[in-house]
Amino acid sequence: MSKIKKALAALVMASMTLTMVPLNVFASDTIPTRLAGTNAEQTAVRIADQTGWTGTAILASSTSYGMVDALTSGPLAYYLKAPILLTGAGNTLDSATKDELVKLAVTKVYVTSGTAVIRQGVLDELKAMNITVVPLGGGDRFETSVKIAQLMVTLGAPVTKVAVAYGWLTQDALSIASIASQASQPILLTNSAELPDIVQEFLKENPHITTSDVIGGTGVINGTVLNQLPKPTRHSGITAYDTNDQVIKDFAGSLFFDQVYLANGVTGIDALSGAPLAAQTKSAIVLTDGVKSPAAGVFVKSKMSVNSIVTALGGDAVVTESQRYLVNTRDTNGQNAIIAQKIEDIANQNDIPPALVKAIAWIESGWKQYESDPTTGQPLTDQPFISADGGIGIMQISPANYPEYDVSRLKSDLDYNIDTGCKILNNKFRAYPKIGDGNRNVLENWYFALWAYNAWTKENNPNYYTGQDAYQDKVFGLLGQKYNSAITFAPGATILPRSLLPLTDPPNLSSCWSTPTPMHSGDLAFDSESLMTNGDFWYNYEIPQQPRGDYYVQALAFYNTLYNSPLVSSGDKTIVSQKILNTYNNLLDSADALVLENNATSCAIAAKYYWTVLQGPNLDSAIKNRAGSGYQNTSAKVNQS
């Protein structure tokens, strides 16, 4: 008998006497769209509650260096009907995990790491709770994977095949975890170029294992390893997330897609805890890197029904709600292609990059104008979608905030709802701090308009709202995931540096901002006539006793957008260049007049006007010098006041 078998033989009889508590005592009757706590340990508790399993548990380390020991524990957890719970690096058991062990009446805990990772103090605490502790940790991650596999064999699991994953990359093992769990298929870890001796020994001593699924390409597991495995089949993609996609495709016949789980593949810890739960419903776990749209999303959506549910594992910091939406195939209007075209047309009519409006509409409503039939998923056009806070339709227009718009049309008319949202966004772009030269096709220039579209409050200040991305940063995150692959935007990031933003309140409306780099062009369909007409409208716009400077700033936004358009004709460029020059001079005159009022508020507005001119293209030396000296002088006065 090998050393692994000897070490595990004594566990068998104890495992046959598991505490018998009815299953699903704690499981919810409804399927949530997110299982999350404030940390990985609490998320694991939420997942454990959902399984309904009691009496036995797996305890793994939540640390990045300790989690690798538990990568292969999913199949054992599923076989034992034991949720995977977590504890941190300290010498005491995590408090949420401890409470969960009590609630689930756990009498036996399998520990996936040695005392170098899960400390002796934690084991002693478990024993003091009258819990039997069963150590599974080996000398390294490879031995641990073998000990877990051998225990499954010894307990009588019908093991005839194994999954093999690269031991130094978490995503591949997690991609197969739920699939292997429901198939009683142990997961073994390997090096890239050599199958560890202890893995070879396990396979030799278990000749009933006749096939193997190899997860990952030749870059992580080469042909030498493949040749040492029983009847191997490789499942791989270019990246780890492509491999996740390929694994789900290859095993689609054994999966149900009415329930899908989404987890962060970089952290990995929530996918680890979620694997046994996903196995309960034969569900796939889709992995995301937290930035891009999940590679497996397209295929999974093709397999889901209108009633399918996507559940995010972990909080918004690791799996954003927009990412969950990207995987959720439920087209509640049954006409997303039509809606996409409507948004493009109406956004272009309002000279707004359509990608921005698409992202706003997705975050606001998931492109939902009407309630849907629960059976067919088709829109119920007599039942408008109204959120709990009173927002109406696809753009979530609030009559309380915008009483000037027709409420009945907001409810019944999709085009009117989209157009109203565009008009509101345009008003925000005009009235709130300008970024750069105001070019409307530079996505970053819309940052403050997006902020104001949701609410011009401290709750959307990234320095204040640190628990998850602020609204406008969620929009940019979705832009990168769905509409503009050039944008790479990680959760927790922000388009404008936090150091430049106030600590709590929104920026002053007269503040001046440069376009951040890198900047990204939008997808505005340039219409020279429309841009020129809108620029002329604001250039000539006048309200008695109201300063005209802000309207010149708005006119410049249209003129500069046209001037910078790659499609503008040379004739139009000459015309618009002269219009820009005239607007510069008028804006500088407005700024000079404000300076003469000799108060801090007027000087701050004047500084914005001078600065706006400095950001523009096609500056001659006279205008540049006039704007530069004006900005320097007014800024000094504002700072002194």
On whether the CB atoms of residues 77 and 181 are closer than 8 A, the answer is yes
pLDDT of residue 33: 86
623 three-class SS: helix
In order of 47, 243, 308, the CA distances from 288 in angstroms are 19, 12, 19
- Minimal CA–CA distance to 350: which of 520, 534, 522, 476? 534
As a whole number of angstroms, the distance between CA 106 and CA 49 comes to: 13
Query: Residue 163 in 3-state DSSP?
Result: strand
Spatial separation of the C-alpha atoms in residues 611 and 593, rounded to whole Å: 15
DSSP string covering 26-75: S--SS--SEE--SSHHHHHHHHHHHH---SEEEEEE-SHHHHGGGTT-HH
pLDDT band at residue 514 using 50, 70 and 90 as cut-offs: confident
User: 329-368: per-residue pLDDT in tens?
Assistant: 554 444 677 888 899 999 999 999 999 999 999 889 878 8
Largest Cα span, the chain: 96
Tokens representing residue 197 in the block: 């001796």
Query: How far apart are alpha carbons 184 and 542 in whole angstroms?
Result: 75
pLDDT of 510 reads 81
For residues 484 and 215, the model is more confident at: 215
Label the pairing between strands 379-384 and 34-35: unpaired
Map tokens 């524990």 to a residue: 73
Instruction: Outline where DSSP puts E strands in 192-320.
Output: 211-215, 232-235, 259-264, 285-288, 309-313
Q: For position 17, what pLDDT does the model report?
A: 32
| Residue-wise pLDDT tens digits, 488-499 | 655 556 778 888
According to the model, what pLDDT value does residue 306 have?
66
Least-confidence region, from 46-60, 173-187, 290-304: 290-304
Euclidean distance between CA atoms 72 and 261, whole angstroms = 18
Cα–chain center distance at 204: 44
What residues have CB less than 8 Å from 281, skipping those under 6 apart?
Answer: 256, 258, 259
pLDDT in tens, 385-440: 998 889 999 999 999 999 999 999 999 999 999 999 999 999 999 889 989 888 99
Which tens digit of pLDDT belongs to each residue from 533-582?
A: 989 999 998 877 667 888 999 899 999 898 888 777 888 888 999 999 99
Range with the poorest average pLDDT among 122-136, 345-359, 497-511 = 497-511
Pairing label, strands 232-235, 187-190: unpaired
Report d(CA 6, CA 484) in Å as an integer. 57
Q: What would the DSSP string read from start to end of 24-38?
A: TSS--SS--SEE--S
- Whole-angstrom Cα distance, residue 432 to residue 129? 60
Question: Which one is predicted more confidently, 289 or 186?
Answer: 186
Query: Position of tokens 């039939």?
Result: 373
Peptide bond just before 518 cis, omega within 30 deg: yes
What is the three-class DSSP state of 313? Answer: strand
- Residue 4 CA to residue 613 CA, distance in Å, equals 76
Average pLDDT over residues 282-286: 95
Min mean pLDDT across 20-29, 70-79, 218-227, 244-253 is at 20-29
Q: Which of 201-210, 306-315, 341-350 has the lowest mean pLDDT?
A: 306-315
Specify whether the CB–CB gap between 220 and 169 falls below 8 A: yes
Measured at the CA of 419, the angle between CA 417 and CA 420, to 5 degrees, comes to 65
405 three-class SS:
coil
Q: Where are the beta strands (DSSP E) in 592-639?
A: none
- pLDDT of 15 reads 38
Q: What's the pLDDT at 486?
A: 60
Return the SS3 of 141: helix
Q: Is the pLDDT of residue 140 over 80?
A: yes
Walk me through the domains of the chain, giving residue ranges and CATH numbers: 3-327 (no CATH), 336-500 (1.10.530), 528-640 (no CATH)
Chain centroid, CA 152 distance in Å: 36
Tokens 């001593």 correspond to 205
Strand partners, 372: 379
First to last CA, the chain: 86
With a pLDDT cut of 90, the percent of the chain lying above it is: 59
State the Cα–Cα distance between residues 147 and 11, nearest whole angstrom. 12
Neighbouring C-beta atoms of residue 563, cutoff 10 Å: 23
Task: Tell me which residue of 361, 299, 323, 318 sits closest to 478, measured CA to CA.
Answer: 323
d(CA 405, CA 339): 21
| pLDDT given for residue 493 in this prediction | 62
The Cα 291–Cα 271 span in angstroms is: 17
Alpha-carbon distances of 15 from 21, 81, 131, 278, 440, rounded to whole Å: 15, 12, 13, 24, 66
- Rounded CA gap, 393 and 377, in Å? 16
Distance (Å, whole) CA 327 – CA 138: 38
Structure-model confidence comparison of residues 24 and 263, the more confident one? 263
Output the pLDDT for position 16: 32
